[in-house]
Structure 1
Amino acid sequence: MCKLEQWSTETLTDYLIRWKKEARSVENFDEKAAIPIFTNNVRSGPFHRDLVQNRPKTYAALLDRAARFAEAEEAERKKKEEERGRGRDKAPQEERRAPRSPRQGPRLAPLHCLTTLTHPVSAILEHAEVMGIVSYSDECLKVSPNADPNKYCRFHRQQRHDTDECMVLKRQIEELIQRGYLGQYVKRSGQGRPQGPGNVWKKKGGSEPPASGSRKRELGQLTEEEEKELDEPHPQKKQVIHVIFGGPEGGDTQSERKKWAWNLYVGEVVRQPHEKKPRREPITFTDDDLPDGPLPHRDALAITLDINNVIVHRVLVDTGSSVNVMYYDTFTKLGLSRKQLTQVRTPLSGFTGDSIETEGSISLEVEIGTQPHVRRWEVEFVVVKIECAHNIILGRPALEDLRSIISMEHLCLKFPTPTGVGVARGD
Structure 2
Amino acid sequence: MFVARLPVGDFGQGSKRVRPDTQPVLGFSDEDKIRTIQPHDDALVITLRIGGYDVKRVMVDQGSTIEIMYSDLYKGLNLKPDDLTPYNSPLVSFEGRVVTPKGQIRLPVQTGSEVVEVNFIIVDVYSPYTAIVAKPWLHTLGAVSSTLHQKVKYPSEWQVCEIRGDQSAARQCLVAVIQHKPETKFLAKAERGL
Is the alpha carbon distance of 1:393 and 1:294 closer, same or farther for their aligned partners in structure 2, counting shifts above 3 Å?
closer
Higher strand share: 2
Hey, what does 1:378 align to over in structure 2?
Answer: 117
Matches of 2:131 and 2:42, distance apart in 1: 17
Hey, what does 1:346 align to over in structure 2?
Answer: 89
Is the alpha carbon distance of 1:294 and 1:385 closer, same or farther for their aligned partners in structure 2, counting shifts above 3 Å?
closer
Three-state SS of the structure 2 residue aligned to 1:284 is: coil
Q: Which string of whole-angstrom CA distances, capped at 9 and with x for unpartnered residues, describes residues 381-411 of structure 1?
A: 0000112110001122111111211122211
Q: Which runs of 5+ in 1 are unaligned?
A: 1-277
1:358 paired with 2:101, answer yes
Higher helix share: 1
Hey, what does 2:11 align to over in structure 1?
Answer: none
Matches of 2:55 and 2:75, distance apart in 1: 13
Matches of 1:314 and 1:308, distance apart in 2: 15
1:310 paired with 2:53, answer yes
RMSD after superposition? 2.0
Is the alpha carbon distance of 1:411 and 1:293 closer, same or farther for their aligned partners in structure 2, counting shifts above 3 Å?
closer
Hey, what does 1:296 align to over in structure 2?
Answer: 39
Hey, what does 1:424 align to over in structure 2?
Answer: 163
Percent sequence identity over matched residues?
A: 35
Is the alpha carbon distance of 1:286 and 1:307 closer, same or farther for their aligned partners in structure 2, counting shifts above 3 Å?
same
Matches of 1:302 and 1:393, distance apart in 2: 9
Residue 310 of structure 1 deviates from its aligned partner by 0.6
Q: Which runs of 5+ in 2 are unaligned?
A: 1-20, 167-194
Residue 323 of structure 1 deviates from its aligned partner by 0.6
Matches of 1:293 and 1:400, distance apart in 2: 25
Matches of 1:408 and 1:345, distance apart in 2: 31
TM-score (norm 2): 0.69
Is the alpha carbon distance of 1:326 and 1:291 closer, same or farther for their aligned partners in structure 2, counting shifts above 3 Å?
farther
Three-state SS of the structure 2 residue aligned to 1:299 is: coil
Matches of 2:84 and 2:150, distance apart in 1: 33
Residue identity matched to 1:327: Y
Residue 286 of structure 1 deviates from its aligned partner by 3.2
Q: Which string of whole-angstrom CA distances, capped at 9 and with x for unpartnered residues, describes residues 156-178 of structure 1?
A: xxxxxxxxxxxxxxxxxxxxxxx
Hey, what does 1:133 align to over in structure 2?
Answer: none
Residue 280 of structure 1 deviates from its aligned partner by 2.6
Residue 426 of structure 1 deviates from its aligned partner by 0.3
Contact 1:326 1:383 in 2 (8 A): yes
Matches of 2:155 and 2:36, distance apart in 1: 28
Three-state SS of the structure 2 residue aligned to 1:358 is: coil
Three-state SS of the structure 1 residue aligned to 2:102 is: strand
Matches of 1:314 and 1:408, distance apart in 2: 14
Matches of 1:381 and 1:330, distance apart in 2: 11
Is the alpha carbon distance of 1:413 and 1:356 closer, same or farther for their aligned partners in structure 2, counting shifts above 3 Å?
same
Is the alpha carbon distance of 1:301 and 1:291 closer, same or farther for their aligned partners in structure 2, counting shifts above 3 Å?
farther
Hey, what does 1:49 align to over in structure 2?
Answer: none
Is the alpha carbon distance of 1:298 and 1:418 closer, same or farther for their aligned partners in structure 2, counting shifts above 3 Å?
same
Residue 352 of structure 1 deviates from its aligned partner by 7.2
Matches of 2:28 and 2:131, distance apart in 1: 25
Three-state SS of the structure 1 residue aligned to 2:119 is: strand
Hey, what does 1:404 align to over in structure 2?
Answer: 143
Is the alpha carbon distance of 1:357 and 1:288 closer, same or farther for their aligned partners in structure 2, counting shifts above 3 Å?
same
Matches of 1:309 and 1:379, distance apart in 2: 13
Q: How many residues align?
A: 146
Three-state SS of the structure 2 residue aligned to 1:325 is: strand
